[in-house]
Amino acid sequence: MAVMASSKERMLRSRAPMFCNRTVGLCLPIQDFCRTPLLVSTLQERKWLGCLGPRSEMSRGFMRRISSQSNEKFASASANASSPMSALLSDAEILPGRSDDHGGVVVEMNGALMSSDSFLSLLRASISKWRQQGKRGVWLKLPIEHANLVQPAVEEGFWYHHAEPSYLMLVYWIPASKNTLPVNATHRVGVGAFVINQKREVLAVQEKSGKLSGSGFWKLPTGVIEHGEDIFAGVVREVKEETGIDAEFVEVLAFRQSHMAFFDKSDLFFVCLMNPLSFDIQKQESEIEAAQWMPIEEFASQPIVHKHELLKYIVEVGLARFEKGFSGFSPLSITSVFSNRQSSLYLNTEYLNSRSS
């Protein structure tokens, strides 16, 4: 049973500065708000109200500063429908973030390290503020040195989106509606080089590792496009790294899409026609067992080429380009409505040029 407050206690309470929270419909002495975690749940709210204990200099100073004016100020805030408690918080008291183009906010945790408790308080207040502002998705970028903040973020409802060597990206969906945040990158891009000289010889290699190592199978130089690298530049690099051959990119002959490949991602593989600019092979010792110029008929006669349709069609389309005028796709440098940076559009430039002429 609750004990009735004495007349002296009621008198002291009536003189105490009051805080009115419209969200919960209560007006209580600040001390009572400080004792109620559900009403004052964030670090900055506790600091703002002076909820730091009776021995705190900040708390005593706060009480002295507002003793003559707090009742009017807080009552006014409560009566104003657009001023709930979290709206009284300064933007300096929430996590720094920038708006994205889709109604979300991006937070990059750079700078000084932060304790998990302090971060969690700021995160909760920030989400409350962003919810009032109508924000949708929250992108939280945590550099590896801030790894201690992963657990409190996950416990607050964030989930992993993607990771890179130097950071982890977590996301959070604020509205009570279907999550429309884009998923992580779904594809990896690979290239294969069909390098053929005037003697009808193709550049062929045997790899030291992988499924085909030790099988005696000769294959085309292949590799994976690096971050920020164009297809035409990546295939030139791979040929040079594996064989020491300088080659000029001509066009994309064909491409294949497959699924559930590397780490369950989808795979795009571009077969590229290359014109050799040098001919002395210097194989990559770490990855390549052997490399040579091989007559195209000998390359095509390998049993594995007949067994696997991908290899069969690569040879056929390569010869069609070399002998019959088949035309693939060459890069055309362009800009777009989304960016002024140059990018590459791959198309049949021979057809385009013939129409123009």
**pLDDT digit string (tens) for 204-241?**
999 998 777 778 899 999 999 998 999 999 999 999 99
DSSP-derived 3-state class of residue 244: coil
Which letter, b or e, does each residue of 60-87 get, where b requires 16 or more Cβ atoms within 10 Å of its Cβ?
eebbeebeeebbeebeebbeeeeebbbe
Q: Assign 329 to helix, strand or coil.
A: strand
Instruction: Give the separation between CA 222 and CA 157, rounded to whole angstroms.
Output: 42
Identity of the amino acid at 357: S
In one letter, which amino acid is 232? F
pTM: 0.66
**Predicted pLDDT of residue 18:** 53
Spatial distance between the Cα atoms of 349 and 327, rounded to a whole number of angstroms: 9
Lowest mean pLDDT among 139-153, 192-206, 255-269, 289-303: 255-269
Task: Write the DSSP symbol of residue 219.
Answer: B
CB atoms within 10 A of CB 91: 10
Task: Kindly list the catalytic residues.
Answer: 241
**Cα end-to-end span (Å), the chain:** 96
Structure confidence by residue, pLDDT tens digits, 261-276: 878 889 899 999 999 9
Other residues' Cβ atoms within 10 Å of the Cβ of residue 175: 13
Confidence of residue 85 (pLDDT cuts 50, 70, 90): very low
pLDDT of residue 13: 46
Find the radius of gyration of the CA atoms of the chain: 33
Average pLDDT, the chain: 79
**Cα-to-chain-centroid distance, residue 270:** 24
pLDDT bin (cut points 50, 70, 90) of residue 327 is confident
Q: How many angstroms separate the CA atoms of 95 and 93, rounded?
A: 7
Mean pLDDT of 170-175: 96
pLDDT of 12 reads 46
Question: Is pLDDT of 137 > 90?
Answer: yes
Model confidence over 99-119: pLDDT tens digits? 998 899 999 998 889 999 999
Residue type at 252 in one-letter notation: V
Residue 31's pLDDT is: 53
How far, in Å, CA of 89 to CA of 295, rounded?
A: 75
DSSP for residue 144 = G
Strands 137-143, 187-195: pairing is unpaired
pLDDT computed for residue 265 by the predictor: 85
218 is written with which tokens? 């000769």
Question: Which of 149-158, 177-186, 224-233 shows the lowest mean pLDDT across its residues?
Answer: 177-186
Would you state the pLDDT for residue 41? 44
Tens digits of per-residue pLDDT, 4-13? 445 544 444 4
Instruction: Report the greatest alpha carbon distance in the chain.
Output: 108
